[in-house]
A and B are shown apart, each in its own frame.
Chain A
Amino acid sequence: MVFVLSLCAISVLAGAVGSVVGLGGGVVIVPVLTILYHLDIRLAIGASIVSVIATSSGAAAVYVRDRMTNIRTGMFLEIATTVGAITGAFLTTVTPVRVLFLVFAGVLAASAVGTFRKRNDADVLLDSHDRIALALGLDGSYFDDAEGREVRYKVTGTRLGLSMMYAAGLVSALLGIGSGALKVPAMDLAMHLPMKVSSATSNFMIGVTAAASAGVYFARGQIDPVIAAPVAIGVLAGSMVGSRVLARVHPSTVRWLFLALLVVICAEMVQRGVLG
């Protein structure tokens, strides 16, 4: 009972943080389960997948209703993440996982630097000549509560965005983590979406990426209901709280929080790459 309740409480935190920055909450769930509860890493990853889907559905229900999510861009990019996830499922047996953790840590470090450089940059893109973005009508607008105005934005860099999303899908299938950590920079840095839209759209997408690999984890018996049940309920409650916060905070606050979490994930990946 204590196990279930405490796990539920920690999951509320994971869901709240994850839904604000567009991550799945695996950053919190995996180390808590392995270090605090001494669980097998495979069960922890199974729980993390459930956490990702719960954050995604819980937060996206709010963000999509509030027009924070760019659903057309999200669905367009899902092409790349799902194909990446399926490629990853085929590669799981042949890839040296430890090397992969270190490569992933390097990519995260690079996007952390990119995010840091952009820390004071709140400008939105007003003009775009990206043919794919124009053809699909990916441009959008959202109402920013913190700034009290409607923000209209254009989208660019669809090709680079697609390739980063493919990598995101690949990595999350191979390592069972990091679906949001690459998606937010792909939209924020490569495609110039506003930070809040990047976070909300990442939230919208991570559920689909995780669902693509959840079937595999479920069949392997990595999703234990006694762990997954409290995680799912806690994360959903947390995402309801978090998704109400995003509209009100300043975009640069979101970016700082994301940056801090990138550094934490990066350290986790180095640790798992070095210690195995």
Chain B
Amino acid sequence: MSEGHGEAATRRMEIVISYVLRIGVVVSVGIIAAGLIVFFVHHGHDAALAGGTSYHTFTKGSWGFPHTLGELVHALARGSGRGYMVLGVLILILTPVLRVAVSVVAFFIARDRAMVVITLFVLCCLVGSFFLGGGAS
């Protein structure tokens, strides 16, 4: 199968996948960094007063962090630093999933049927696992 499509097709795919990963990484880092800055603008004072060495200084007396989509949307609407950090981390988590989705399309374009089936199966497992996670808790 690979003989028919050759190394050129694989090479193109490598470049596309590399870009997908890089964009995912840059976007998530940007949002996480912005969230950290906002967080320190709001909390920096408390941290300095407490010596700021321990994780528990931050969590003590705070209202926790968003871990459902609904809470996340609220946190983002309020402009909360934690909200943006969570959004950035979520984008980071979804980057590999996006990479698999892009490979499905790329193998489809390259008419590499066996690899389309393989990557589509992996994608279904991944998407399924997210719903599994949502339902389990």
Interface residues of A (CB under 8 A from B): 1-4, 37, 39, 50, 53-54, 56-58, 60-62, 64-65, 67, 69, 71-72, 75-76, 78-79, 82-83, 85-86, 89, 135-137, 139, 207-208, 210-221, 223-230, 232-233, 236
- Cα distance A85–B130 in the bound complex, in angstroms: 12
The reply to whether A61 and B89 form a contact with Cβ atoms under 8 Å apart is no
Name the CB-closest residue of B to A138.
Answer: B2
Complex contacts, A60 vs chain B, CB 8 Å: 17-18, 21
A233 touches B93 (CB 8 A): no
Which A residues are in CB contact (< 8 Å) with B59?
224, 226
For residue A220, which residues in chain B have a CB less than 8 angstroms away from its CB?
A: 67, 137
Report whether A214 and B93 are in contact in the complex, using a CB–CB cutoff of 8 Å.
yes
Whether A79 contacts B52 by the Cβ 8 Å rule is: no
Measured CA separation A226–B56 after assembly (Å): 11
How many angstroms between the C-alpha atoms of A56 and B22 in the bound complex?
11
Q: Which residue of B lies closest to A240 (CB)?
A: B25
Decide if B54 touches A4 in the complex (CB within 8 Å).
no
Known contacts: A3-B55, A89-B136, A229-B32. The answer to whether A208 contacts B2 by CB under 8 A is no
Say yes or no: A219 contacts B93, CB within 8 Å: no
B55 near A136 with CB under 8 A, answer no
Known: A57-B95, A72-B10. A86 touches B129 (CB 8 A): yes
Residues of A within 8 A of B21 (CB): 57-58, 60-61, 64
Contact of B126 among A39, A67, A82, A137 (CB under 8 A): A82
Contact in complex: B18, A61 (CB < 8 Å): yes
Say yes or no: A211-B96 contact (C-beta < 8 A), given A86-B125, A229-B32.
yes
For B133, list chain A residues within 8 Å (CB). Answer: 89, 213-219
A-B contact pairs, 29 of them (CB 8 A): A1-B40, A1-B48, A1-B52, A3-B58, A37-B55, A39-B55, A54-B92, A58-B21, A67-B14, A72-B2, A72-B10, A75-B119, A78-B100, A79-B122, A208-B96, A208-B122, A213-B129, A215-B133, A216-B132, A216-B136, A216-B137, A218-B90, A221-B67, A225-B65, A226-B39, A226-B59, A228-B85, A229-B36, A229-B85
B32 → chain A, closest Cβ, in Å?
Answer: 5
**Which residues of B from 62 to 97 have beta carbons under 8 Å from A?**
64-65, 67-68, 82, 85-86, 88-90, 92-97
Partner of A137, one of B1, B35, B96, B121: B1
A216: B residues at CB distance < 8 A? 129, 132-133, 136-137
Residues of A within 8 A of B28 (CB): 232
Closest beta carbon of chain A to B77's beta carbon, Å: 16
Which residues from chain B contact A64 at a C-beta distance below 8 Å?
14, 17-18, 21
| A171 CB to nearest B CB, Å | 16
B109 adjacent to chain A (CB < 8 Å):
no
Question: In the complex, what residues of A have CB within 8 A of residue B18's CB?
Answer: 60-62, 64-65
A220 to B: closest C-beta gap in Å? 5
With A1-B48, A215-B132 already in contact, 9 other A-B pairs whose C-beta atoms are closer than 8 Å = A61-B18, A71-B13, A72-B115, A136-B114, A137-B1, A207-B95, A211-B129, A213-B129, A223-B67
Contact B129 A89 (CB under 8 A): yes
Contact in complex: A86, B35 (CB < 8 Å): no
Which residues does chain A contribute within 8 Å of B122, judged by CB atoms? 75, 78-79, 82, 208
What is the CA–CA distance of A169 and B115 in the complex, to the nearest angstrom? 20
- Whether the Cβ atoms of B132 and A86 lie closer than 8 Å is yes
Quote the shortest CB–CB distance from A274 to chain B (angstroms): 27
Asked whether, in the complex, the Cβ of A223 is within 8 Å of the Cβ of B89, the reply is yes
Within the complex, the shortest CB–CB distance from B137 to chain A, in Å, comes to 4
Q: Nearest-CB distance from B94 to chain A (Å)?
A: 7
| A221 to B29 CA separation, bound complex (whole angstroms) | 21
A39: chain B residues within 8 A (beta carbon): 55
